[in-house]
């Protein structure tokens, strides 16, 4: 299915292609709708591979930290940061300004907040005041509920009862600098991004939106961009070597979308 792009469709900055590493214990894992996790490989090795392929940023999320009430394994974050010279966003189990400091000192440039922020929205504002908007990414795990979407926590396991649109609006008011918008329904399914969700959030978002969940091929990435995503995040098709970052960027460029071409 080819994407239909409006004429003269332009984007202000290059579309960022962002591999996402889901951390569990010492491994990077991947599942379907965040369940049935399979081990993919070592964090440092995958980070290096995607950096060398031309990833524009990396996302590294400990997907069980909040669930088990653990804090992030900073050694793993350090091992990832050591390999890459592109921006790194880290999330999972962050519950204090101290936690953020530790993660930044371990080599992250930005932090992604979900579970703790949903329970304590004021924490987003504190974090923004301390570290600046550019450092604070709101991570939203959205599941379809009737006409809208509900925000989930703990890696798509627990529901919060919060409507995604209202929650994102509140978080924007508290100063978050970016939104990582995950469709739990699409995650790991390779059925394309949830473009309705993206269009809905992008229609009012004043900060960049990173789409995640459902990436299938370059056409699906382009669909997410046309729906309003500023960046596309993906894992399955890269982890299981169904395509490479240069192939995806080539596909985006063929659809007249501007991407960064990295030189050797």
Partner 1 sequence: MKIRIVDFGVGNLHSALKALRLFCDDASTSEDPAELRSADALVLPGVGSFRAGMHGLQVRGLGDVVREAAEAGKPILGICLGAQLLLSEGQEFGRCEGLGIIPGEVVPFPPLADGCKVPHMGWSPVDVPDAVSREGTILEATPPGADMYFVHSFLLRPQDHVHTLAVTSYGGHTFASVIRKGNVYGCQFHPEKSGAEGLRLLERFASICAEAVLR
Site residues, partner 1 (CB under 8 A)? 11-14, 16, 51, 54, 56, 81-82, 85-87, 104-105, 107, 109, 132-135, 177-178, 206-208, 230-231, 260-264
Closer CB to partner 1, residue 143 or residue 255?
255
d(CA 262, CA 100): 30
Closer CB to partner 1, residue 42 or residue 262?
262
CB of 160 to partner 1, least distance (A): 27
Among residues 135, 48, 60, which one has the least CA distance to residue 84?
A: 48
CA dihedral 60, 64, 69, 73 (to 10 degrees): -40
Q: What are phi and psi for residue 161, nearest 5 degrees?
A: 80, -5
Coil, strand, or helix at residue 89? strand
Phi/psi region, residue 170 (left: phi>0; alpha: psi -120 to 50; beta: rest), is alpha
Closer CB to partner 1, residue 121 or residue 208?
208
CB of 171 to partner 1, least distance (A): 16
CB of 9 to partner 1, least distance (A): 10
CB of 228 to partner 1, least distance (A): 10
CA dihedral 60, 179, 220, 185 (to 10 degrees): 80
CB of 262 to partner 1, least distance (A): 6
Closer CB to partner 1, residue 109 or residue 158?
109
Closer CB to partner 1, residue 41 or residue 87?
87
Residue for token digits 């504190």? 126
Closer CB to partner 1, residue 30 or residue 110?
110
CB of 156 to partner 1, least distance (A): 27
Q: What are phi and psi for residue 23, nearest 5 degrees?
A: -95, 135
**8 A C-beta contact, residue 106 and residue 149:** no
């Amino acid at each position: 299915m080819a994407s239909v792009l409006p004429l003269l469709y332009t984007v202000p900055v290059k579309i960022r292609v962002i591999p996402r590493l889901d951390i569990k214990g010492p491994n990077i894992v991947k599942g379907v709708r965040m369940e049935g996790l399979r081990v993919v490989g070592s964090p440092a090795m995958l980070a290096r591979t995607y950096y060398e392929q031309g990833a524009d940023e990396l996302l590294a999320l400990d997907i069980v930290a909040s669930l088990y009430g653990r804090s992030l394994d900073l050694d793993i974050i350090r091992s990832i940061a050591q390999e890459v010279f592109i921006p790194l966003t880290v999330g999972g189990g962050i519950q204090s300004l101290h936690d953020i400091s530790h993660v930044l000192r371990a080599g992250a440039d930005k932090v992604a907040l979900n579970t703790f922020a949903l329970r304590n929205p004021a924490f987003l504002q504190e974090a923004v005041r301390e570290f600046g908007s550019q450092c604070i990414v709101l991570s939203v795990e959205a599941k379809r509920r009737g006409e809208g979407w509900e925000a989930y926590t703990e890696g798509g396991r627990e529901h919060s009862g919060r409507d995604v649109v209202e929650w994102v609006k509140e978080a924007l008011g508290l100063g978050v600098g970016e939104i990582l918008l995950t469709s739990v329904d699409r995650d790991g399914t390779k059925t394309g991004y949830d473009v309705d969700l993206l269009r809905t959030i992008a229609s009012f978002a004043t900060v960049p939106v990173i789409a995640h969940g459902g990436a299938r091929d370059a056409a699906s990435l382009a669909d997410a961009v046309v729906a309003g995503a500023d960046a596309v995040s993906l894992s399955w098709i890269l982890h299981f070597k169904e395509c490479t970052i240069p192939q995806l960027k080539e596909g985006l460029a063929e659809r007249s979308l501007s991407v960064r071409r990295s030189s050797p």
